[in-house]
Structure 1
Amino acid sequence: MKANRMEAFSDGVLAIIITIMVLELKVPEGHSWSSLVGLVPKFLSYAVSFVYVGIYWNNHHHLLHTVRTINGKLMWINLLLLFSLSLIPFSTAWIGESNFSATPAALYGIVLLLAAVSYMRLQYEILKQHSSDSDFVVVMGRDVKGKLSMLLYLISIIVAYLNSWVSCLIFVLVAVIWFVPDRRIERVLRNKS
């Protein structure tokens, strides 16, 4: 099987995830600007989650350009990543509905940590297809942003019970770190052509 089938399936799942998230934003009963005030926490959680799904979509797209062969193990790891990401709409709705309370914030951090670990595992499995001195292995092996993100998610889960707002700021910080797409793969592909 070619990587484009797995990428197309993943793109479809990510599109559905975003659709589910936006459907959680219910229209207010009032007809004035003030009636939107109650939606601010829900919209903020949606906006951050939208950015996260976009970041995963972008990096997943680049990562799949390095795949040499698709096998069952790779497909299952990709499904684990998609499963993790499919939990984002639930955790997004809960954290927005609860006005960023401690347990929903901790769950949001757990979901993001699970997605990060799954992505790291997918990346590792794909890199195993290349020789250890390959340009891809060299540049991807230094995944400082990925490792830092997982550490920050762990911190945010603990901090959620001390101050859920600080926990949420950590989520935003990680999103800002990743907002600029990971250019490592692009550079290697550009150098090869």
Structure 2
Amino acid sequence: MNKNRLEAFSDGVIAIIITIMVLELKVPHGTELADLQPLLPVFLSYVLSFVNVGIYWNNHHHMLHTVKQVNGAILWANLHLLFWLSLMPFVTGWMGENHFAPVPVALFALVLLMSSVAYALLQRQIVCLHGTESTLAHAVGHDLKGKLATGAYLVSIPLCFVSTALAGGIIVAVALMWLIPDRRIEKVIAE
């Protein structure tokens, strides 16, 4: 099967996710800069979520450049990833509205963890179809970066109940680690 519908559908879903997240930013009733201050937690949670969804879109885009065809397993693995990403608007809104309280931050971290796991499963399904000598297999290797991110999310969940600031720091650190698109794929494609 051709990969074009998978790409188009994924791009559309991710665009809708980002649109829904921005709709959570409510316009203040006042006209002073001070009227924006109560929105700061909501805005910060939006920025963090936007960056994370953007990272997934960017790396998904790069990964799909290595794909020549798709099968049912890849389609379902992709839907699994989109499911977890589609929860981002909910957890983003809840976390921002509750000023980064432990339970909303833990749920946000859980959604990031499951998105990371889903991305790894999609990556694995692509390698299964295209083989261990495929472009993607060579590019990601043992995927230490992906495993490190997944482990960091796993640690951040219980840490939320000790210090949301430390847990948030881990989440931000993982985002910074992935902010630059995965050049492993670009490098292998260029060769």
Same fold (TM over 0.5): yes
Name structure 2 gaps, 5 residues minimum: none
Q: Structure 1-normalised TM-score?
A: 0.95
Does the 8 Å CA contact 1:67/1:129 hold for their aligned counterparts? no
- Partners of 1:25 and 1:133 lie apart in 2 by 46
Q: Structure 2-normalised TM-score?
A: 0.96
Does the 8 Å CA contact 1:41/1:100 hold for their aligned counterparts? yes
Q: Give the 5 Å matches for 1:1-193.
A: 1-191=1-191
Name structure 1 gaps, 5 residues minimum: none
Shift of 1:135: 4.6
Does the 8 Å CA contact 1:77/1:118 hold for their aligned counterparts? yes
**Cα RMSD (Å):** 1.1
Q: Secondary structure at the match of 1:129?
A: helix
Q: Secondary structure at the match of 2:85?
A: helix
Shift of 1:170: 1.1
Identity among equivalent pairs (%)? 53
Does the 8 Å CA contact 2:66/2:135 hold for their aligned counterparts? no
Q: Secondary structure at the match of 2:174?
A: helix
Shift of 1:68: 2.6
- Partners of 2:109 and 2:17 lie apart in 1 by 17
Per-residue CA deviation, residues 61-120 of structure 1 (Å, 9 max, x unaligned), is 111111232111111110010000000000000110110000000000000001000000
- Partners of 2:3 and 2:154 lie apart in 1 by 32
**How many residues are treated as equivalent by the alignment?**
191
What amino acid does structure 2 have at the position aligned with 1:43? F
What amino acid does structure 2 have at the position aligned with 1:18? I
- Partners of 1:5 and 1:134 lie apart in 2 by 22
